[in-house]
Structure 1
Amino acid sequence: MEKLNDDLVEKKIRELNGWDVVVVDGEKRLVREFIFEDFTGAVAFSVKVGIIAEKADHHPVVLTEWGKVTVSWWSHSLGGLSEKDFEMAERTSMLYEG
């Protein structure tokens, strides 16, 4: 796994609907908020994200709130974004969209 350069990140983010690239502590991350009708829906989604993350051995930050889940993917060991992060973001979107 290797860190993606800025040009490739810009190209790939245009293909990933609903996600943003943010910089936190000098590292690029993919971030998206997912909206739910209540806390139970948000928790259920968070668990599903946790399951795909564990199976892939690639773990995001998941912030669960009433009616909202924020998911952040990045490769901690690389200090930025990899192909795996984009793949996992896409899989996360697919979980949400059904």
Structure 2
Amino acid sequence: MAQLLTEAEIKKQAKVLSDWTVKDSKLQITRTFKNFIEAIEFVNKLVEPAESAAHHPDIEISYNKVKITLTTHDAGGLTQPDFDVARVISQIN
């Protein structure tokens, strides 16, 4: 199991992730697209990196908005894999 990050480690890593927020031991971002089709196309692009990392985000879709939440459920909070996957997601258009 991945080790929980300290508050200092979380703050340091969160600073370099623009548009992501940390709330309640979760890393979150909401992306807005032109329409539903673009939102779904974006979600489909998340499959390969999530599978490769064996670390899967929680995803909520509401028409043209996609909310992504990362946390390590079995560790009970944020771990390094959460930030690793967030960096990959940040690079996906």
- TM-score bucket (shorter structure): over 0.9
1:95 aligns with 2:53: no
Q: Which runs of 4+ in 1 moved over 3 A?
A: none
Taking only aligned residues, the RMSD between alpha carbons, in angstroms, comes to 0.9
Residue 49 of structure 1 aligns to a residue whose secondary structure is: helix
* Structure 1 position 50, deviation (Å): 2.3
Structure 1: 5+ residue runs without aligned partners?
A: none
1:4-57 Cα offsets, whole Å, 9 max, x none, are 01111111111111100011xxxx010000110000000011111122112211
Give me the TM-score of the superposition, normalised by structure 1. 0.89
Aligned-partner SS, 2:69: strand
Aligned to 2:77: 80
- State how far apart, in whole Å, the 2-side matches of 1:41 and 1:92 are: 15
TM-score by length of 2: 0.93
Moved more, 55-64 or 31-40: 55-64
* Runs of 5+ consecutive residues of structure 2 not aligned to the other structure: none
Q: Partner of 1:92: helix, strand, or coil?
A: helix
Q: Which amino acid aligns with 1:34?
A: R
Matches within 5 A, 1:1-98: 1-23=2-24, 28-96=25-93
How many residues are aligned here? 92
Identical counterparts, % of pairs: 29
Task: Specify the code of the residue in structure 1 equivalent to 2:7.
Answer: D
